[in-house]
């Protein structure tokens, strides 16, 4: 037979373990962890998101990213117009049945073409973005990408990968970083790698 103090200790430990486990299960159900997918596996979504952000800022339309609408998370939500923009077709049809206007943006659709799908009047993309400026912006974006990773434009693919891994360790949300910086580093790696392989 166990001594009384040991029996009490085991009973208290068991109760505490069950309570803590229940809290973790409840927390995961109420606040599910979103899986982190590498940028190169997201079918160009990172690029479309960047273009859509630029477009919405150009037309001065306030937006929220990864917003919860009609029981699902959408890529962008325009609160002033009650419009949800998603890359996911099932979510698009689910939202269409709610009162919110839904817009489906394919991964292949350039962000500047979003205006044609929005349920309100938008300026012509040619008025917002002229071609020479877009090329200059692309060059600046590539330079910023290399700078974000802390490597020179002549860096090899293996040097890029090593720099990316180091930066991700520093800014990962699980290690005290913020999600926006983490996304920016992932986008920088994708842009720098693309520039390095295409010889730009």
In the chain (200 residues long), the average pLDDT of successive 10-residue segments reads: 86 94 88 59 68 88 89 90 90 85 82 84 72 58 84 87 88 81 83 75
Task: Give the position of tokens 């929220």.
Answer: 64
- What's the confidence (pLDDT) of residue 14? 93
Please give the CATH number for the structural domain made up of 130-198: 1.10.287.110
- What's the confidence (pLDDT) of residue 172? 84
Of 3.40.50.10900, 3.40.960.10, 3.40.50.720, 3.40.47.10, which CATH number belongs to 45-128? 3.40.960.10
> The pTM is what?
0.47
Burial 102-112 (b: 16+ CB within 10 A, else e): bbbbeeebebb
**45-128 with 130-198: one CATH topology?**
no
State how far Cα 10 lies from the chain centre: 45
- What's the confidence (pLDDT) of residue 39? 44
Q: List, in sequence order, the alpha helices (H) in the chain.
A: 4-30, 45-58, 89-96, 125-128, 131-149, 157-171, 179-198
Q: Where are the domains of the chain?
A: 45-128, 130-198
179 by Cβ neighbours in 10 Å (0-12 / 13-18 / 19+) ranks as middle
- What's the confidence (pLDDT) of residue 62? 92
Q: How far apart are CA 28 and CA 34, in angstroms?
A: 10
Task: Give the position of tokens 């068991």.
Answer: 14
- What's the confidence (pLDDT) of residue 27? 86
- What's the confidence (pLDDT) of residue 137? 62
SS3 74: strand
């Amino acid at each position: 037979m166990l001594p009384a103090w040991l029996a009490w200790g085991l009973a208290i430990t068991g109760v505490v373990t069950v309570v803590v486990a229940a809290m973790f299960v409840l927390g995961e159900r109420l606040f599910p962890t979103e899986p982190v997918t590498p940028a190169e596996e997201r079918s160009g979504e990172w690029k479309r998101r960047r273009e859509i952000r630029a477009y919405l800022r150009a037309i001065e339309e306030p937006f929220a990213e990864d917003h919860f609408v009609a029981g699902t998370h959408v890529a962008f939500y325009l609160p002033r117009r009650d419009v949800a923009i998603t890359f996911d077709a099932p979510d698009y049809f689910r939202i269409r049945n709610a009162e919110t206007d839904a817009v489906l943006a394919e991964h292949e659709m350039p962000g500047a073409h979003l205006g044609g799908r929005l349920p309100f009047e938008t300026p012509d993309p040619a008025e917002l973005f002229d071609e020479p400026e877009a090329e200059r912006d692309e060059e600046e974006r590539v330079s910023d990408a290399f700078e974000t990773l802390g490597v020179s434009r002549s860096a090899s693919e293996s040097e890029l990968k090593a720099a990316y891994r180091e930066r991700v360790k520093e800014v990962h949300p699980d290690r005290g970083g913020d999600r926006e910086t983490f996304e920016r580093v992932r986008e920088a790696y994708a842009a720098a790698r693309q520039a390095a392989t295409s010889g730009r």
